[in-house]
Structure 1
């Protein structure tokens, strides 16, 4: 989708505005919940003079969950931006392309075969889920890339093969879910709906290294993404090794999506919507668009998590369902508008 200069704003103004919105939503989310905490009590607790109950609620439950939402939102947004740049298709997304399904399939296999032995792994157990999701995502990407290869990989073939692989992994997920015992089935179902279930600081540490390493690496590769958007022939003429760069960027996108899916479950549409909104605000130059995408992704998932926790409190709506409810209309709009 082309972005007209009339709708573009100053990148610094956009980033400051997004940061302000994130701070506002973050503070509101600290206040709201089944146990509501007054704003002054939140401030007292954050500076170390709150009650034990408030400290427990904020530091052990809400803060790690909100930090995870920001990290996952940024990671999925950047993953989607990479896929849209690599495939030259504005409808590309880790969920639509099949990467989330591959990561999810690997995690469901892990739950099915090894869930009973998690306790024996101790602290290392929190790293097993992201690693298994990464393996599944890489396997899905390998399948997509291999099946789409025909004297090179065209963007259209990449998308069509990705949709087919997504459907195949979806069928496999259903088969293994039906074989699970009721407890594991319920856990897998909630997780696949998109649920930030690892709401503790250990899971923050699980996702954080992937985000801190891969997002700056993607920004470093922003120039190559810009050139890839010009088309394979033009990119080759400008000295870019197209297939090598495409594989590196695709692996980066898979690693980000796999780590985020492992902790946040099957969250769809976020990787689709965030890059489009960023492109509308600041244009398609990836050096600027990628940081804005990360901020928008974090903001959207933080907002969705706040809505999911409070709309039907004390029951929770999986954050993935909230994101889908918000993102599906925009996806339909893109299908209508994109040529």
Structure 2
């Protein structure tokens, strides 16, 4: 190691690492999207062999491989590159609790809009949600969906109440269903249940309707959570990473309460900021690595005028609507499953 690097302060090295991290995000994203990681996982290869197999530009493939090696994604045995088993799981296995592939792609895609951050800071001008935003969200929510399914199916040998309801067959309302990917997954796992998706975005709702075509158990409506008007129709209402974007959160939660039958449950999967009276003046310090990601993601959210909530804030929304028995299950990385019941 060069002597000059050894003399650098710990603070310098930490900040230097942020620059390196940006390249790591993009190497991971490009490797996933182009199939380079999958190709190497199937068969270790040299730079030249990989370029030939994929028919990609040899110089670009070599540059990517060199970066992936330096950043620790790939390893070399002899002259061939290979993808370690654990790295493969983290980058490619969407069902793994350690899956981070979608998170890398979310950050990369969102960074394409960061040109608007300076304008946001100077003038407060926000950006409309675009197809690129939805693409990024889909990448990120894959992990959320699988975390939810894993949590309710594998609860230390005990049956989670939500899993039991869905297995028996219940009526589910997904508020802010996006392109309908989660409803589709739920139907595959719980064929006795039926689903209604509500989505305000024309683009996302259209894709969800295409997915639902030919599936009698799924209905998709283009509607806002604030305007929906169901009355005692559902056993379970689900909101997955959608409440933060609502203009009137209390109206949505109250409408969810009204939509539920007596004894029904609301399930909210949402990234939540730490409950801290001094949060505005803190930066999620060195001893709290797990919260650093959500604290940084506030930048993404602010571009569209959104912000994360805290546990206290979401608890107040539920209590005001009439819900009781509110519970928080920590999925890790500041992502929570929040459940509450209609008595």
TM-score range, shorter chain: under 0.3
Return the structure number with greater strand share: 2
Provide TM-score, normalisation by structure 1. 0.24
Q: Relative contact order: is structure 1 or structure 2 higher (C-alpha 8 Å, sep ≥ 6)? A: 1
Pick the structure with greater CA Rg. Answer: 2
TM-score for the superposition, normalised by structure 2: 0.24
